[in-house]
Chain A
Amino acid sequence: MTIEQKKQVYTQRIRSLRAKKIEETRKKIAYNGLTDEDDYNFLCPPEGYSWKPVGDSPNGDFHGYRGWSENYAAMLKSFPPVVDPENSMCGNFFRILQKFRKVRWHECWDLSPWQETIDRYGIDHGIGQIHHFCGDVRIGLNLGWDGIREKVRRYEAVNNETEEQREFYRAENVFLDACMDWMDRTVACVREKLAHETDPLLKENLAGMLAANEWVRHQPPRTLREACTFISWYNLFGRSFNREGCGGQLDELLRPYYEHDTALGLIDDEDAVYYISGLLMSDTKYYQLGGPDETGRDMVSPVSWLILEAADRMDVSLNLTIRVHDGLPRAFFRRGVELLFKHKNGWPRFSGDQSLVEGFMRRGFSRELAARRIAVGCNWMAIPGLEYPLNDSIKVNQARVFEVAYDEMMAGPERSTEKLLSLYVKHLRVVLKCIGETMDFDLNNNRYNDPELFLNLFMVGPIEKGRDASDHSVQYYNIGIDGAGLAVAANSFAALQQRVEQEKALTWDQVYASVQANYEDENGPYIQALMKHSGRFGQPGSLGNRWARRLTEVFRDEVVALKSREVSVYIPGMFSWSKTILFGRQVGATPDGRKAFEPVNHGANPMPGDVRSGAMTDMSEAIILAQCGMGNTSPFQMELDPGMIDMEDGIDKVMALLETHLKRGGTLINVNIVDADKIRAAHKNPELYPDLVVRVTGFTAYFITLTPAFRQLVVDRLMES
């Protein structure tokens, strides 16, 4: 075959895989219902599929080393093998074990010391949080599955003093046995398909698939196809186990294998694109591309380009992040922006190296370590293999903290925004103390609840010490705490200061009475309008902006000052994930004119409608004010008009916008290219647009999979730009 013919064949297969994926999304919705989640590319269970886990507690939940390992093994056995002769990779799954759990923690645990505080402030606390740290897949690439098994055995022989240690290794072995059995069954299926395949090109593919899988089943990968196969299985195991979704620096992970193959003339770039597309199709993991290595050298290589090429041909939901820094090749940056506009799928995203590295260093770490802390999650960074941050899990609803402080102030004699701020800080400390205590509890108990049987294998420490990653075996426990609802709190402070303190247009009691009545009292609409049209977060030079900065600094300082028995480093960020609706439901009407239970702002963004239409620099400035500057993100959810690209220098303008935001202190930008007509039409008839991908927040999802409330939120946000 000429390279052109090969390109045609591969592109045709990728298109066909894409069509199947879109069809599968439809089926999954019918089966699983709507979700507000990432698309993980797993399959809808076959008809009649009925596997259920065996519980070990009254509510039927399963726990601990035994509960998870044995149920996982049983679940994997229930999966029929999946082999598609058109795909370069094989295997897929039907259910995620973690999704069978009803309660995040052990129902028998006594949470009463914190329950009242958790309920009062709506805290997304530390107990029962899982994954949200990143395995170092290189550990596996170097050892291979047999090597991993051997490593487990070696340390099992050493660390066998306690029953708990023995149980830990037993569970890891059960886990590995189950995974290997799944692989074996899939390999057998490949062999069978190969025997029956009549198309010579598909036969050739199946033969390559078989050889790669037979090798990778035991040995460390040598070639690009084997490396992709290894990582693809890594993805399938992690995701099907507990929804684990971290990626890594994909270009660097694959580079040695690509160089090996091309040096020996084993593959050309078309083969590479085909293998990589299979890997990307296996899961929507969070992969970083480019960015400086520990010496500052940029990591963009031919493999980075091939990853973009594969993504371009696939045109599906993906999570790729380009790390922007001075050394990033302009052409690569430009290509990323072009693809963003071409497919309007929300990828790639862009992270800001300078602010993230300097921030993490400010928290006391070296530049070298900071450079290794890469974009591996929805809106977060971690050091693969070394850090357990639980990023994007623990959240403080600042709108609710505000509300509690406001109620307390209004019950007392002294009223001023300064008094309110002091009460806000007081309550924030109560929340953070509770988070610290729940984290301590979690780090001492979570192994009995949700052990990390998969990620343990890819961290430095757990296997060596015979302790779960949640149990003091990893090098760094830098626990992330995110603020959510900043705009509601900041606008509330600003509106009170402006209308009550400065203009004296209203009194404290007037506003409070109206807020209590959800602005439905006689003067409510007037008071609401006044409060709503005060100087808002998102408007340059406004009181809202000033309060957002002040509250961000308060949050930063309080989180940094927090120490608990088990954790000495907490890292602040500003991010709601997709919980804007949930957090809004926890909060009654607020003095910013927001009515009771309406959603809070998304991430670090201002409230929808508060930034003049399309004024991205107003928005950028606001989001920079919301940066905590400690190595975690306050992401910018940016919506851009697809027409920007029609301008002569449209791409340059977008690049300048992204780059300048990141240079000025921004940490992460998630971009949606808004085809307003299409989104509006899809909102009316989602089923007509099964392939419409939107960036919901740090992750992308098929629009059709979102719940109506969430679709509305996405539409509101998008329409305003």
Chain B
Amino acid sequence: MKNMTGIITEIQRFSLHDGDGIRTTVFLKGCNMRCSWCHNPETLEMKPQEAWYPAKCIHCGHCKTGCPAQARVTIGREMTPEEALHEVLWDRDYYAASGGGVTVSGGEPFLQADFLKAFLTLCKENGLRTAAETNLSLPWAVIAPCLPLLSHVYFDIKLLDDAAHRKWTGVSNRTVLENAANLAASGIPFTARTPLIPGVTDGEDNIRGIAAFLASVRENCRYELLNYNALAESKYEPIGLTYALPGTRPLPVSRLRELAAAAASEGTQCRFSRG
């Protein structure tokens, strides 16, 4: 395993929305899904890639030798698990004081399963609490070995209808649902999430269906509805992609409340975030 590396999009300190307490989130690069609304499009490709922010360009003509103005930047860097650990240890005092820790996210972190396992092992050896954010769509055999190293798993169920799931994410949800059941059986604490994409995932049937499924695998489990994040749109152009849902707006809080109530009535502990 010597010299093993992972491709990291970013390591974000003082992360407050990815689990308990103050955390550092390690975003691994690369994803097997292609959700139309992805709010981290820079993590889709696993290879480091260039982004271009014309507003920052000072037209100096030095593009070939390295941009001085950060108008052209490379997203993604190769790191060893030890290097990643070194960075996440910077805030260990904050984790201890707040009950926080490290969250691995993506992209889809299990796409780099070997790196992930090595990194999580190091975290555990150093007494850090860890969580993962995953789309849960990779084979259980890939995911399972990391579970003993995790304190919490956050996963998405975006759509219950498989055809719709394929249409909007490019991947079937069969494995996701199987894995969710496996995860529930494993006993590890988890939180399921659904991003609320207006006109795609925010139908009451979809939310009720997901909630009922969740309740069937683990009674009264944690379920979060994440409001649509309109900021994602601005991230597409710099990396040469076109956003599929331009102009979409977040749902009003009243609608979030209705959906959360519906999900709760199916037997989940449902909360929503305003986005």
Contacts and interface: CB of A to CB of B under 8 A. Distances in A.
B218 interface: no
A501 to B, nearest CB: 17
B91 A617 contact: yes
Contact of B90 (A614, A617, A649): A617
Interface stretch (A62-70, A349-357, A364-372, A522-530): A522-530
Contacts of A644: 16
A530 B66 CA distance: 10
Interface string B50-77: 0000000010101000001110000000
A540 to B, nearest CB: 6
B13 A617 contact: yes
A653 interface: yes
B60 A615 contact: no
A649 B21 contact: yes
Chain A interface mostly helix, strand, loop or mixed? helix
Nearest to A527: B68
Nearest to A644: B16
A525 B16 contact: no
A660 interface: yes
A615 B98 contact: no
Given A533-B69, A533-B70, A660-B97, A525 B91 contact: no
A616 B90 CA distance: 12
Interface in A65-123: none
A663 B90 contact: no
Given A533-B70, A621-B90, A615 B22 contact: no
A533 B98 CA distance: 33
Residue of A614, A653, A663 with most partner-chain B CB within 10 A: A653
B242 interface: no
Contact of B12 (A615, A649, A657): A615
A616 B14 contact: yes
A657 B22 contact: yes
A503 to B, nearest CB: 9
A649 B60 contact: no
Given A533-B69, A540-B90, A617-B94, A653 B16 contact: yes
A529 B94 contact: no
Nearest to B57: A529
A526 B62 contact: yes
Contact of A530 (B17, B20, B68): B68
B231 to A, nearest CB: 12
A1 interface: no
Contacts of A309: none
Interface string A653-669: 10111011001100000
Contact of B58 (A526, A612, A659): A526
A657 B94 contact: yes
B68 A652 contact: no
Nearest to A533: B70
A656 B14 contact: no
B87 interface: yes
Given A529-B69, A540-B90, A616-B14, A652 B98 contact: yes
A656 B96 CA distance: 9
A616 B24 CA distance: 12
A529 B70 CA distance: 8
Interface string B2-28: 000000000011101100111000000
Nearest to B23: A653
Contact of B14 (A529, A618, A652, A655): A618
Contacts of A649: 20-21, 98-99
Interface of B: 12-14, 16-17, 20-22, 58, 60, 62, 68-70, 87, 90-91, 93-94, 97-100, 274
29 contacts: A525-B60, A526-B62, A526-B68, A529-B58, A529-B68, A529-B69, A540-B13, A612-B12, A617-B14, A617-B90, A618-B13, A618-B14, A621-B90, A644-B16, A649-B20, A649-B99, A652-B21, A652-B99, A653-B21, A653-B98, A653-B100, A655-B97, A656-B22, A656-B94, A656-B100, A657-B22, A657-B98, A660-B98, A663-B97
Given A526-B68, A612-B12, 19 more contacts: A529-B60, A529-B68, A533-B70, A540-B90, A616-B14, A618-B14, A647-B16, A649-B21, A649-B99, A652-B98, A652-B99, A653-B21, A653-B98, A656-B21, A656-B98, A660-B94, A660-B97, A660-B98, A663-B93
Interface of A: 525-526, 529-530, 533, 540, 612, 614-618, 621, 644, 646-647, 649, 652-653, 655-657, 659-660, 663-664
